[in-house]
Structure 1
Amino acid sequence: MGRAGAAVAVIGVSGWLIALCAFDIRQRRLPNMLTVPGAAVILAVAALAGHGRPAALGAAALFTVYATVHLLAPAAMGAGDVKLAIGLGALTGVFGVDAWVLAAVGASVLTGVLALCLRMAGAGATVPHGPSMCLSTAAVLALALPTQGV
């Protein structure tokens, strides 16, 4: 993928992540109309760019982690988060295991810190996990893309 194609991909992914965050913060859910097509596009583009295997492995691994949590404690993890894990796992999987782990762990840490801060402030509200997933992925991409020459 050339520089122009990479720029278009960065803009597209950024818009997708922003839309997901906004929707989850407002509605406290991640809609299929955003999660499923996003995952499909990421997997397709990764395959076309020759990164289909790491994208598929990243997607499968993060889906498995999130689906397991959802099945064991449905109140702790929504189905939208599980579906979002496919696209974000694929996206970070393209950049390697280190990027994948950093984004996965980062999302949990962000959500935990935010929940702790809200609790300490006396707010008992639940914290949507989607924005943390998106922010940690964006941070990892911001670190990884310059090393890829983008």
Structure 2
Amino acid sequence: MIDLRSRRLPNVLTLPGAVVILLVAAGAGQLRPALVGAGLLAGGYLLVHLAAPAAMGAGDVKLALGLGAVTGTAGASAWLLGAAGAFVVTAVAGSVLRVAGRGAASLPHGPSMCVATLVALATVSV
């Protein structure tokens, strides 16, 4: 909700969330897949952020740490669905808003990242 209103993802939410997810993964014996998932997703987001800072905020990069970790523990298919799904959700939301005449110059990506991660986890765990 914060990202929707202010277009910012506060460190107080993103970084502690990633740490908690990594600690839980470590306790469950899943630290390696969590670290791989976090590194791959956050690394990809970091590359986009560095290449085009207006297209991807630093908050999205930090959020990707936790979301990549949690989908990493669920397996490669969950990770791929979460990673690709975030961009699909953002694109669909932007298209719907444009058709409705409410198109914005840019959309916050954090909510799409969270929705895609939830869908990926629900899909894989079923």
Amino acid of the residue matched to residue 110 of structure 2? G
Which of 112, 130, 133 lines up with 2:113 in the alignment?
133
Separation in 2, partners of 1:111, 1:124: 12
Could you tell me how far 1:113 is from its partner in structure 2?
0.9
Hey, what does 1:79 align to over in structure 2?
58
Aligned ranges for residues 89-100 of structure 1 at < 5 Å?
89-100=68-79
Equivalent residue letter for 1:133: M
**Whole-angstrom CA distance in 1 between matches of 2:100 and 2:6:** 22
Match of residue 10 from structure 2: 31
| 8 Å CA contact retained: 2:77, 2:124 | no
Kindly report structure 1 stretches of 4+ aligned residues shifted beyond 3 Å.
Answer: none
CA distance in 2, matches of 1:143, 1:116: 25
Aligned position for 2:88: 109
> How big is the alpha-carbon RMSD for the aligned residues of Structure 1 and Structure 2?
1.0
Q: Which runs of 5+ in 1 are unaligned?
A: 1-21
Q: How far 1:144 sits from its partner (Å)?
A: 2.5
Whole-angstrom CA distance in 2 between matches of 1:68 and 1:42: 23
Distance 2:115 2:108 in 1: 12
Following the alignment from structure 1 to structure 2, what is the Cα–Cα distance between the partners of residues 77 and 116? 18
Structure 2 unaligned regions, length at least 5 = none
Q: C-alpha separation between the residues in 1 aligned to 2:51 and 2:99?
A: 27
Output the CA distance in 2 between the equivalents of 1:99 and 1:140. 5
Partner of 2:40: 61
Does the alignment pair 1:46 with 2:25? yes
Give the structure-2-normalised TM-score.
0.95
In the other structure, the counterpart of 1:144 is 124
Larger radius of gyration: 1
Identity percentage of aligned residues = 60
Q: Distance in 1 between matches of 2:24 and 2:5?
A: 29
When the two structures are superposed, what TM-score results if normalisation uses the length of structure 1? 0.80
Deviation at 1:92, TM superposition (A): 0.1
Q: Secondary structure at the match of 2:50?
A: helix
Aligned length: 125
Distance 1:71 1:116 in 2: 26
Q: Quote the Cα distance in structure 1 between the aligned partners of 2:62 and 2:48.
A: 13
